C-alpha cells in the first residue's frame, strides 16, 4: 500500500481578515493532488481546520485509509489528538466551561479522523519544508483575492 503524506496550511491577513487554506497530497513521495480555497472574512484557526478537513475528505474520496498528516498548526494537532476528548466529555465545553470555538468544524474533522488511520505530525512553519512552503504560497495566493 502506498504511503500517503498530506501537508496543510491555513492563514489570514489580519485575524480575522481575508484568509486561505491549502493542502498537498503525496503518494510514495510523488505529488498527486493539491487544492486551496479562501474566505473574505475568517480566522487563522478556521482556515487551518478547513485545510485539514478538505484534505482528509479528498483522501476518503480517493480511497486512502492510512495517512500521515503534516500541519504547522499546534491548534489543529493538539485539538484533534488531545483536547477533543475532553471537549466531548464536557459537552463541547472548554476547561473554563466556555463553548468550544469552531465546534462544527471540529465535529467534521472528528468524523473524518475516525474513518481514517491518521498519524498527526507537527512541522515548524516557515522552516524550508518543501510542501509546507508550497501550501503557504498557495494560502497567500488565496488571500490575495481579497487584498
Residue 98: active-site member: no
Residue 48: active-site member: yes
Q: What pLDDT band is residue 131 in, cutting at 50, 70 and 90?
A: very high
- Determine which one of 48, 70, 79, 142 is catalytic: 48
- Per-residue pLDDT at 126: 82
Say what the pTM is: 0.95
- Determine which one of 5, 9, 20, 70 is catalytic: 9
Domains of the chain (ranges plus CATH)? Answer: 4-144 (3.30.420.10)
pLDDT digits (tens, 9 = 90+) for 24-60: 999 999 999 999 999 999 999 999 999 999 999 999 9
- Determine which one of 5, 11, 136, 142 is catalytic: 136
pLDDT digits (tens, 9 = 90+) for 82-118: 999 999 999 999 999 999 999 999 999 999 999 999 9
- Determine which one of 29, 91, 104, 126 is catalytic: 126
Residue 104: active-site member: no
- Determine which one of 10, 11, 19, 79 is catalytic: 10
pLDDT higher than threshold 90 for residue 125: no
Mean pLDDT over 129-146 rounds to 95
- Per-residue pLDDT at 62: 93
Q: How many CA atoms lie within 13 A of 86 on its CB side?
A: 13
- Per-residue pLDDT at 4: 95
- Determine which one of 5, 19, 20, 72 is catalytic: 72
Range list of β-strands (E), the chain: 4-12, 17-27, 30-42, 66-71, 117-122
Dihedral of CA 144/146/17/91: which sign?
negative
pLDDT higher than threshold 90 for residue 147: no
Radius of gyration of the chain (CA): 15
Residue 133: active-site member: no
- Per-residue pLDDT at 124: 87
pLDDT digits (tens, 9 = 90+) for 57-85: 999 999 999 999 999 999 999 999 999 99
Amino acid at each position: 500500500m502506498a504511503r500517503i503524506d498530506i501537508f496543510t496550511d491555513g492563514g489570514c491577513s489580519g485575524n480575522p481578515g481575508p484568509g486561505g487554506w491549502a493542502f498537498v497530497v503525496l503518494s510514495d513521495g510523488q505529488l498527486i493532488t493539491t487544492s486551496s480555497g479562501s474566505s473574505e472574512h475568517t480566522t487563522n484557526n478556521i482556515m487551518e481546520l478547513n485545510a485539514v478537513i478538505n484534505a482528509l475528505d479528498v483522501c476518503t474520496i480517493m480511497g486512502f485509509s492510512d495517512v500521515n498528516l503534516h500541519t504547522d498548526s499546534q491548534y489543529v494537532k493538539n485539538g484533534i489528538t488531545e483536547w477533543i476528548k475532553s471537549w466531548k466529555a464536557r459537552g463541547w465545553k472548554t476547561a473554563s466551561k466556555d463553548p468550544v470555538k469552531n465546534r462544527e468544524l471540529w465535529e467534521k474533522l472528528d468524523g473524518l479522523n475516525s474513518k481514517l488511520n491518521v498519524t498527526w505530525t507537527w512541522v515548524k512553519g516557515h522552516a524550508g519544508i518543501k510542501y509546507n512552503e508550497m501550501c503557504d504560497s498557495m494560502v497567500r495566493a488565496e488571500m490575495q483575492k481579497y487584498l
